[in-house]
Structure 1
Amino acid sequence: MAVSPISRFRRAAALTLMLIAGPAMAADPVVVSSKIDTEGAVLGQMILQSLEEAGIPVENRLQLGATSIVRNAIKAGEIDIYPEYTGNAAFFHDQADRDIWKDAGKAYQQAASLDKEAHNIIWLEPAEANNTWAMSVRGDLARDNNLQTLEDLAAYINEGGAFKFAASAEFVESDSALPAFQDAYGFTLGSDQLLVLSGGNTAATLRAAALNDNDVNGAMTYGTDGGLDALDLKVMEDTLGVQPVYQPAPIVRAEVLETYPKIREVLAPIFESLSLETLQRLNGEVAVNGVPAEKVARDYLDSLARD
């Protein structure tokens, strides 16, 4: 039976649409996002730039908002990948009361398992760095007394060493913060050894210690705060695992990873290279020295390529 010109036209048009639509769908860009903070900007730029360099099409949605905003966005499929913290999965899945989150390896595995099952979200290789609540001391105090860990600091305090600590009221009063450190490591700070500042901004506590305000030589901080390296403050290692672990890791929608499996191998060595001190330094370049996060990430990726 003869095929009419109209039928031939319709078939040709349909084939053309299929050919156009197929590659376009395959080439959908990976929507890269991050939280609005300094570290989010730096890590987000590393993801964005490294994927683009690997030939993966990307769309920039960095510094989208606070945790709740980016979390809801990836669950809704509005973004595809962003850096998250293992400890936050405890709150995402209502498991904050479990001790499993204080062990780095177990916390990562639990976060990965829960998100894969609930939302088909994949956790990629985490950084070594732990951005959790911490106690830091002035660099000169640490060097003069060989203070590396909270056990070292407890021994120094219990031997009568001069120590005054700047912290927020929440850190001082919350059972999971200073009281938990004191119970675990066996030291006590009296009221005369505390400078309690309003709000929870670690920039204020770090500045108080760096300037030695009112004899302050220790400060509440987060593990990878940008001001630590720049202000010569040293985080005391939590060897007993008092605090939950907050390792940054890229999380990505499973269907996107299936489309671009190279994402895993591109990002793994980058995040594996991010130690506590490295992230402190990179964050400090942005927060203290005012270098754009885009340049900080570019310079770091270039340094990895040279090594």
Structure 2
Amino acid sequence: MKRPLVSAAVVATMLSSAVATQTYADDALVVSSKIDTEGSVLGQMILQRLSAAGLEVEDRLQLGGTSIVREALLNGEIDIYPEYTGNGAFFHDMTDSPVWHDAQQAYDTVKAKDAELGLEWLTPASANNTYAISVRGDVARENGLETLEDMASFINDGGDYKLAASTDFVESAFALPAFEAAYGFSLDDDDLLVLSGGNTAATMRAAAQQTSGVNSAMTYGTDGGLQALDLVVMTDTKGVQPVYQPAPVIRRAALDNHPEIAAALAPVFESLSLETLQRLNGDVAVNGLDPAKVAADYLATLED
């Protein structure tokens, strides 16, 4: 959902095929999103909020992965969609820069870089949908575990701990090894259940079901199953992982034509905390609700 982009050649091929079969209303704002659960919820919020503000909108939600939607925005095929600040590292070939580990610097950097391309970043959510380690709720509550420092102390004091994670998470220098180095703990093979692929649904399920003694899981910060499975995200107080805050990104030409869009969307994204997005994503991914209804019900609460 927010990892490195596919090649330009693949993007061009997929775009040419998609665009050739689609037309857009000349006077409508084309609202799009990525194909994942959170993209559908955030996209619906943008679509419905702008429609309620009296703007004519066209629904192009769940268009594809990051590279497809980003290229469509740059090409003027869509006008606005929700993106993550941390992806600026890949968009602008800055993956080695430390700015992506600080929320404000990440936002300021991608905003400035994209402005040069005629794109404007609007108000972001405070939620951070990045790599995380989450602990079973009962273990977290019984042992006062809220942060990765707390978790590290628990492990180093001999606490019963076992993590379910993907091979990439365990072996990639920026993932588990980076957490271990920053927080001063170490997991050996007996402390890990390594699962093929990077599907957090599998790691969360292993923790929830205590598979092979697992009580912790590799997750993303706003995964929809976290609250349903009673898993608690350990706060990364040292900023080991890049920050991935969602925010609307819009073509400057569209914003110039409708400057009221910024004010219309600001309170929506300002309200989206980590826990709120976890719950909304869970309503779709776990409870099977329609993203349009989840968005509509949430927006109604902001009007109360």
Q: Same fold, TM exceeding 0.5?
A: yes
1:27 positional shift: 7.7
**1: CA distance, partners of 2:60 / 2:207:** 36
**1: CA distance, partners of 2:248 / 2:136:** 32
Whose radius of gyration is greater, 1 or 2?
A: 1
User: In the alignment, which residue of structure 2 is the partner of 1:44?
Assistant: 43
1:295 positional shift: 0.3
User: In the alignment, which residue of structure 2 is the partner of 1:255?
Assistant: 253
The one-letter code matched in structure 2 to 1:47 is I
Q: TM-score, normalised by structure 1?
A: 0.90
The one-letter code matched in structure 2 to 1:34 is S
Secondary structure of the residue that 1:126 maps to in structure 2?
coil
User: In the alignment, which residue of structure 1 is the partner of 2:279?
Assistant: 281
Secondary structure of the residue that 2:39 maps to in structure 1?
helix
Secondary structure of the residue that 2:266 maps to in structure 1?
helix
**1: CA distance, partners of 2:98 / 2:230:** 32
Structure 2 unaligned regions, length at least 5: 1-24
Alignment of 1:39-188 (within 5 A): 39-117=38-116, 119-188=117-186
**1: CA distance, partners of 2:184 / 2:230:** 26
**2: CA distance, partners of 1:267 / 1:210:** 36
How big is the alpha-carbon RMSD for the aligned residues of Structure 1 and Structure 2?
0.9
User: In the alignment, which residue of structure 2 is the partner of 1:266?
Assistant: 264
Structure 1 unaligned regions, length at least 5: 1-25
The one-letter code matched in structure 2 to 1:125 is T
The one-letter code matched in structure 2 to 1:206 is M
The one-letter code matched in structure 2 to 1:74 is L
Instruction: State the Cα deviation string for residues 96-149 of structure 1 (Å, max 9, x = none).
Output: 1001100000000000000001x1100000000000000000000111011100
Q: TM-score, normalised by structure 2?
A: 0.91
Secondary structure of the residue that 2:63 maps to in structure 1?
strand
The one-letter code matched in structure 2 to 1:157 is I
Instruction: State the Cα deviation string for residues 43-67 of structure 1 (Å, max 9, x = none).
Output: 0000000000000110000000000
The one-letter code matched in structure 1 to 2:225 is G
Match of 1:205 among 198, 203, 226: 203
**2: CA distance, partners of 1:198 / 1:27:** 46
1:276 positional shift: 0.3
1:211 positional shift: 0.5
1:28 positional shift: 1.0
The one-letter code matched in structure 2 to 1:161 is G
Instruction: State the Cα deviation string for residues 45-94 of structure 1 (Å, max 9, x = none).
Output: 00000000000110000000000000000000000000000000110000
Number of residues paired by the alignment? 280
Secondary structure of the residue that 1:42 maps to in structure 2?
helix
**2: CA distance, partners of 1:120 / 1:90:** 18
User: In the alignment, which residue of structure 2 is the partner of 1:5?
Assistant: none
User: In the alignment, which residue of structure 2 is the partner of 1:16?
Assistant: none
Percentage of matched positions with identical amino acids:
66
**1: CA distance, partners of 2:83 / 2:135:** 27
**1: CA distance, partners of 2:141 / 2:301:** 29
The one-letter code matched in structure 2 to 1:29 is A
Instruction: State the Cα deviation string for residues 128-172 of structure 1 (Å, max 9, x = none).
Output: 000000000000011101110000000000000000000000000
Alignment of 1:3-42 (within 5 A): 28-42=27-41
**1: CA distance, partners of 2:264 / 2:90:** 29
Whether the aligned pair in 2 keeps the contact of 1:127 and 1:272 (CA below 8 Å) is: yes
Match of 1:233 among 217, 231, 239: 231
User: In the alignment, which residue of structure 1 is the partner of 2:9?
Assistant: none
Secondary structure of the residue that 1:87 maps to in structure 2?
helix
User: In the alignment, which residue of structure 2 is the partner of 1:224?
Assistant: 222
Instruction: State the Cα deviation string for residues 189-246 of structure 1 (Å, max 9, x = none).
Output: 1100000000000000000000111110000000000000110000000000000000
User: In the alignment, which residue of structure 1 is the partner of 2:6?
Assistant: none
Whether the aligned pair in 2 keeps the contact of 1:27 and 1:57 (CA below 8 Å) is: no
**2: CA distance, partners of 1:189 / 1:128:** 31
- Structure 1 runs (4+) greater than 4 angstroms displaced: none
**2: CA distance, partners of 1:242 / 1:216:** 23
Secondary structure of the residue that 1:175 maps to in structure 2?
coil
